[in-house]
Structure 1
């Protein structure tokens, strides 16, 4: 594989060599035969490099290597695995500029959005590095007969995890979900997205530098229908982030194979501005919640319900703040929004915006492409007066487009927010007590109060994920590691058998046990 150059020049030699040898299909014959995927840089539309087009045979090789390595890796102590993650944390921060450059090069996002990814994988590595022993520590439970029955819960690795990552957050979603699974003693076969492979390759190269045994992680680049399906057909647990349609298809494979499956899928995320919200205090935060990463974020806001008491003030302030955003293609910090990821994303955004305009929705900010800035730039766009037949009223745009609707009460806002097939993220802005009362009524995997999405996403000690068609399973927290393990119950019966001593026949034993159960319940001795 080859990456031509970073914005300031060639990739450093040590990373260039590592990336060339990192993916399984980089050392097989398909590259020599010209079967490759060219990677486009969204800022300019130029080809920045290429990777191998993986095959089912490449995936088979990856699993063969991973399964052999996993048997050895599983014997590594929790303490040593944790040390590797903590060293990785330090390397991520050390190489943050290089990581941000690569993320921007492949996605076209702004510098601050790229830094979010660096921050998240560092936090994730630190969390699981520090807590692996606590999370996986054997847990003693009350046996059926206290003192005579010793029952212990263990967590053993599932084997080889499969991961299929998306393009919108190629750094954090390319490796953050993998870290707890690997640390739990599993091996990994992963497919980076075909549009953003170099970021994942770079992220994992740092993990190897931190001390991860090489064959524990296998990367196969290539198309989802080939590589992704082959991974789903071979892994012992599947982690996927992406569209609801693809998630359903992969879920069918996982269900047929009776393997575990975790998926964060689409969203049509609502935001509520409460009756007593201070508009001037919240408007900048709401803008970030809607337009970070150009709106190409599963948890970003696409619909806003503002109480009638603050509606007019909010629309004016929000439209102005949106129009004041600075768009541009740059590897510095001066732009607040970057490009869309490619031609397909641009076409999707234009489809939804044009449909809304044609059906009478009012544009109060943005509303057009910006080819003067780059091939895939689109202004952050705000609508009001959106009728029910407008496509973006209920469908996910996954771009920098949001609409605002007036509501007469918090109850109406909650009803409209919950009226969706999705349930990934929600946001409520207003005085703490008021906002939290509203938040408790929303049905979504995460609810952010006085923040758009980042507070919940960055709180890695707490789980997050989707309800309804926004997915299943959870990432982060203790469950984010335990889901990659099998719970094993090892119970020892001591001194006397559970069926009673040999000298006691069944009938009197049953009578004694009946009395003991009744007494145990009253004294709360037995669980």
Structure 2
């Protein structure tokens, strides 16, 4: 694979090439590797995946039919019954061994992530970082999250209450293509340590990464039957997975998420959904514009904008808009695009033709209706079939699709505002509520503005990484951006069923000691008043 010097495009500087990598797709994805990774995948048909860098086929893969999904669940249920009996401490040790193996052999999975998604190597490394953090966190904290907990009983000293946590059984997980390591195995780790099995359907185009992670987890000590993978088209395999799962974890589009939620609700099983976003970045008048401009590049163009929590709307105070945009546009035009398996490129490719067409449609329609391109705006077939330059649009109006629709590509629309209240109101004026970014030198002001934004996470003086990387804290969306949370206590307890065990001692919860009903009711009423007076909770 090579990187190509960009041609001069209208009104912009050429984007510089990134270093050339030494490895090719054929050298990375060998028949031996594919055979090893697909061992145990239940499939009666054949499908294939392709590299985003060139569009060429990477591997032939087994394709699962509905009956294959059922077989995977049967195998997972048998394995889960045994796995659930393993002490939590020993299950957690698997995650900690996986953490070490992942860091030791990260080069292997970085190659796969790049080949399958087309992203730059540094952005692929974000996935390694996120999964290592999750493995360490749940490896260290799972015992505390899952241990039996004592609670105050109905009657002090007489009622002893213990809360137990049981695994749900077999979790059905539908993982997306854009973060094939983090949003597959990263979400599965807390399910495993909680005692569940997982049947996962990764996106076929990026499934080698998920299969590599499965292979590494088995090497770390996870029983192979506990982690089943099925491959196939979403409309075929997805409903079958929802049909058999004891709990469903889904990351993807809001439209499909609604369908998954309906299927899970019809069976009365739980579901967590991380869905779309149209995330806003607010640059307040006291922001450091140099840092904000550099941060905007990361926030808008990491993984070519194919990240649910990346920024697509940029609100800048009118007093510094011109100075900020001058710096932001200059940094954007200077970005290096590349398709090599090496560090150095600042942005890679879109994942495929569908994403490219959406990006082109949004940009071309906006320009036709009067928006101005400050940087980028064109495809780059000279580098690869799905490359598109990082793009800044000014003068975007509500009638343009890019204003409200999720682009999921390297495109950001810039808007000016006069007051903080206006910025917050406009940032909240969307059906989505996943992530936001606030830039200011005042910590107090940042917290005040963040508290008024209707998003599951808010990052101050950064785009998305601090909140997402803080694994002890919940991450997820409000409004149409989803249900439930990953990370922290919610990220593991959602994979469990809570059970309350209450033991009554000495006296029953009924009239006793010669009391009739009326005297018992009076006694309990006095007791309740006393418990309030003595501040019992």
Alignment of 1:33-72 (within 5 A): 35-72=45-82
Aligned-partner Cα distance in 2 for 1:13–1:57: 27
1:117 is paired with a residue whose SS is helix
1:427-475 CA-to-partner distances (Å, cap 9, x unmatched) read 0112133333322211100000011011111101000101111111111
Q: Relative to structure 1, is the Cα distance of residues 251 and 6 closer, same or farther in structure 2, using a 3 angstrom cutoff?
A: farther
- 2:522 matched to 1:504? no
Number of residue pairs the alignment of both structures matches? 514
Which residue of 410, 428, 442 corresponds with 1:418? 428
Between the aligned partners of 1:393 and 1:87, the Cα distance in structure 2 is 45
1:475 and 2:486 correspond: yes
Structure 2 distance, partners of 1:285, 1:22, is 43
Distance 1:505 1:360, change over 3 A: same
Deviation at 1:502, TM superposition (A): 5.5
- Which residue in 2 is equivalent to 1:391? 401
1:50-77, CA deviations, whole angstroms, 9 ceiling, x for partnerless residues? 2122111011001111111111111110
- 2:92 counterpart of 1:82: yes
- Kept in 2, the 8 Å contact 1:274–1:435? The answer is no
The CA deviation at 1:286 is: 1.2
1:454 to 2:472 alignment: no
TM-score by length of 2: 0.94
Matched, 1:404 2:422: no
Please tell me whether residue 91 in structure 1 is matched to residue 101 in structure 2.
yes
Counterpart-to-counterpart distance in 2, 1:190 and 1:462: 25
Q: Provide the residue aligned with 1:513 in structure 2.
A: 524
Within the candidate set 130, 135, 141, 1:120 is matched to 130
8 Å contact 2:25–2:58 — kept in the other structure? no
Q: 1:233 aligns to what SS in structure 2? A: helix
SS of the aligned residue for 1:357 comes to: helix
Equivalent in the alignment of 1:197: 207
Q: What is the TM-score normalised by the length of structure 1?
A: 0.95
Q: What is the match of residue 330 of structure 2? A: 320
Query: What's 1:19 paired with?
Result: 37
Distance 1:369 1:234 in 2: 43
Counterpart position of 1:366: 376
Matching residue of 2:151: 141
The 8 Å contact of residues 300 and 311 in structure 2, kept in 1 or not, is answered as: yes
User: Unaligned 5+ residue runs, structure 1?
Assistant: none
Residue 15 (structure 1) shift: 4.8
Q: CA deviation at 1:13?
A: 8.7
- Is the contact between residue 15 and residue 202 of structure 1 (CA under 8 Å) also seen in structure 2? no
Deviation at 1:11, TM superposition (A): 4.8
CA distance in 2, matches of 1:15, 1:48: 11
Cα distance in structure 2, aligned partners of 1:394 and 1:197: 31
The CA RMSD over aligned residues, in Å, is: 1.4
Give the CA deviation at 1:44.
1.2
Partner SS, residue 474 of structure 1: coil
CA contact (8 A) 2:110 2:125 kept: yes
In 2, are the aligned partners of 1:107 and 1:167 still within 8 Å (CA)?
yes
| Cα pair 1:117 1:172 within 8 Å, conserved | yes
Q: Which runs of 5+ in 2 are unaligned?
A: 1-22
> C-alpha distance in 1, partners of 2:530/2:276?
52
Q: Paired residue for 1:245? A: 255
Following TM superposition, where does structure 1 have runs of at least 4 consecutive aligned residues deviating by more than 6 angstroms? none
Following superposition, the deviation at residue 36 of structure 1 comes to 1.7
SS at match of 1:176: helix
CA distance in 1 between partners of 2:122 and 2:40 (Å): 28
Are the structure 2 counterparts of residues 8 and 93 from structure 1 closer, same or farther at C-alpha, using a change threshold of 3 Å? farther
